[in-house]
Amino acid sequence: MNGMNKAVVGAVFGIALIYSVLSLMLTVQELLDTGIVTLMLFAPNGDALGIDLAEYLSPITGLYPDLIDTITGLISSDPEMVKNISLALVIVGFVLSAAGMATKPSLEVAGTENPAEYMWTHRPKATAKALGAPWGLLTACYRKHKALVILPIILLPLYIPWSIMMTLAMVIPFAIVKGVTSVRMRSAAKKERKDYESSTHYAVCPKCKRNFERPKIRCKCGLELDYPVPNVYGIKKHTCNNGHPIPCVSGKRSELRTICPYCGSDIETREAIPISIAMVGAVGSGKTTLMLASVKSITQMGRTRDVSVEAVTPGISKNAVAAKDVVAKSAPGELDSECMFIRSRTLQDREIIFNDISGQEYEAKENKILFEEFFTYSDGIIFTFDPIALKRQGRGATPTEVFESFHYMYTQINGISPSKVNSVPMAVVATKNDVMNPKLKDEDVRQFLIDNGQNGFVKVLESLFSNVRYFAVNSTGDDCVSAAKPVWWIVGESDQELYKAVPIE
Ligand SMILES: Nc1nc2c(ncn2[C@@H]2O[C@H](COP(=O)(O)OP(=O)(O)OP(=O)(O)O)[C@@H](O)[C@H]2O)c(=O)[nH]1
Ligand SMILES: [Mg+2]
Ligand SMILES: [Zn+2]
Ligand SMILES: [Zn+2]
């Protein structure tokens, strides 16, 4: 049980116990003075410290002294002896009630679906379990063995009045603690949700590429827990079932080990806002090189503004970027997404995700893999073509063919009609501008396509995508900032703050 729970349980049980102990002391006093069992309730009034319950509730409370009398009568008739036995029975009854509070059902807080400790006041059936604590021996014995419950039932008459008293004494403190906790929890949860919605929204898994609102997290002991937000498991921190603290305050949560709730892969989300970019284009049209060149340029330009870029997947690591001019053909089939984080002192963390697959996947073939995950959550699409190959009418799929293939997958996956106009930013990029002669300017690219037999492509593309922009870039060599332009344009379309933070010109 975590510290916060201990404090709360201590307070609630403590108040009930102190009150009952005071009543017990009065009862014992009365017994020692008069030799008669009289159930006293601590309630200072005038000169007296307590009231004799029998005066108020005699039919019920009268049973208790009667019972004790009967038992002692069976054992002895010596008045002194009777007194001692009565005393022992009263104390035993009290102890049986108090012992109930220490049983498992009264204290258990372990979570089952989410292996984190509940807040004691907010575990399932919290009120019943708390107020039932002085009766805990019944549940504890029943859980051990059904037949065993007979024992606390037989003893029930001895502790009934004490258990009632403790339960009643607990009502107010429990209600207060629960009420206060609920209010704090709700306002913390509301604030957290608002922050999260205004910043992160969701996270993306680079392995299975699904998106989800929150990742799961893995405690150092291996337990997989729900993402910690202020809820019934805690307000400022959660505690795993093995007792390890897990912060749920936004700054501290970025240290947590996050995992994908679908495929269980270790992923990094850092509560960063993700921007997903899909790379589309024929084999050899320069998708992978463009991606790497843009990472290089964004990193370089970021440095001038105190914005740091950290690539976390191997495909866009420092080494991969350094070797960008000799990149290998991307392997066909599913590939992991590439992720990088962008951070600065003034900016909430951002994450840029590239979905780059082999151009072979855009070639016409039967039983196409749809690459569901690659195209479901795109904030933008970069459509590359090699202008030299197009001019020479060399081998490889033309933009028309690639687009047809891509658009088929895209509409199939997103369940949209093939004629629906899409507002996702679409950057059409002529690559390898360094070897073009004459060089293309951004504004020439559209006409270049038309002049090279792609009139149909331009028409169809512009009728299906409402936000199209053309770029001419070169991705090789040291000066490859043009490769970052289409990426940064897409960024700007969904995130002006980040767009302005790094000058890509
Ligand atoms: N000169 C020059 N070469 C480039 C440029 N961009 C890409 N290339 C070269 O073109 C070839 C193909 O580039 P990739 O980036 O692998 O193309 P891709 O679209 O990823 O190809 P697949 O992964 O096979 O689909 C490589 O040899 C690159 O070095 C560029 O801007 N200028
Ligand atoms: Mg590639
Ligand atoms: Zn996953
Ligand atoms: Zn743990």
pLDDT along the chain (505 residues), means of 10: 92 94 92 85 81 72 80 84 88 94 91 95 94 92 90 89 92 95 94 82 82 90 93 94 89 85 87 90 95 96 92 93 92 88 87 91 73 76 95 84 90 81 95 94 96 94 96 94 96 92 87
CA-wise closest residue to 103 among 131, 138, 127: 138
Any residues with Cβ below 6 Å from ligand 1, and which? 281, 283-289, 325, 327, 329-330, 358-359, 431-432, 434-435, 474-476
Q: Which of 277, 283, 287, 289 to mutate to test the pocket of ligand 1 (most atoms within 8 A of CB)?
A: 289
- Sign for the pseudo-dihedral over CA of 496, 499, 502, 505: negative
Query: Counting ligands in written order, which one lies closest to the CA of residue 359?
Result: 1
Counting from 1 in the atom list of ligand 1, the atom nearest the Cα of 480 is: 31
496 Cα to the center of ligand 3, angstroms:
28
- Sign for the pseudo-dihedral over CA of 17, 18, 21, 23: negative
State the pLDDT at residue 367. Answer: 66
CA-wise closest residue to 394 among 287, 284, 279: 284
Ion ligand 4 residue ranges (Cβ < 5 Å): 219, 221, 240, 242, 244
Q: Are strands 245-247 and 237-239 parallel, antiparallel or unpaired?
A: antiparallel
CATH 3.40.50.300 assigned to 272-501: yes
- Report how far residue 241's alpha carbon sits from residue 439's, in angstroms, rounded to the nearest whole number: 64
Residue nearest to atom 3 of ligand 1 (CA): 432
Residue nearest to atom 29 of ligand 1 (CA): 325
**Structure token digits, residue 381:** 């699409």
Query: Distance between terminal CA atoms of the chain?
Result: 57
421 Cα to the center of ligand 3, angstroms:
30
Query: Counting ligands in written order, which one lies closest to the CA of residue 475?
Result: 1
State the pLDDT at residue 9. Answer: 95
Residue nearest to atom 12 of ligand 1 (CA): 284
Question: Beta partners for 381?
Answer: 278, 426
227 Cα to the center of ligand 4, angstroms:
14
- Report how far residue 475's alpha carbon sits from residue 496's, in angstroms, rounded to the nearest whole number: 24
Counting from 1 in the atom list of ligand 1, the atom nearest the Cα of 435 is: 1
Query: Counting ligands in written order, which one lies closest to the CA of residue 266?
Result: 3
Give the length of the chain: 505
- Sign for the pseudo-dihedral over CA of 25, 29, 32, 37: negative
State the pLDDT at residue 209. Answer: 81
Helix then strand then coil, % of the chain, to nearest 5:
50, 15, 30
**Structure token digits, residue 124:** 């399932």
**Structure token digits, residue 271:** 């509560």
Q: Side chain identity at 252, as an amino acid letter?
A: K
State the pLDDT at residue 59. Answer: 66
Ion ligand 3 residue ranges (Cβ < 5 Å): 205, 207-208, 260, 262-263
Counting from 1 in the atom list of ligand 1, the atom nearest the Cα of 360 is: 25
Counting from 1 in the atom list of ligand 1, the atom nearest the Cα of 473 is: 31
- Report how far residue 273's alpha carbon sits from residue 197's, in angstroms, rounded to the nearest whole number: 10
280 Cα to the center of ligand 3, angstroms:
22
Residue nearest to atom 9 of ligand 1 (CA): 286
Domain boundaries, the chain: 3-178, 200-271, 272-501
**Structure token digits, residue 262:** 């679908």
Counting from 1 in the atom list of ligand 1, the atom nearest the Cα of 475 is: 31
Q: Contact 23/42 with Cβ under 8 angstroms?
A: yes
Residue nearest to atom 7 of ligand 1 (CA): 286
State the pLDDT at residue 60. Answer: 66
How far is CA 455 from each of CA 140, 196, 261, 458, rounded to the nearest angstrom?
A: 80, 45, 45, 5
State the pLDDT at residue 135. Answer: 93
138 Cα to the center of ligand 1, angstroms:
75
State the pLDDT at residue 396. Answer: 78
Q: Concatenated DSSP letters for 14-67?
A: HHHHHHHHHHHHHHHHHHHHHSS---EEEEEETTEEEEEHHHHHHHHHTHHHHH
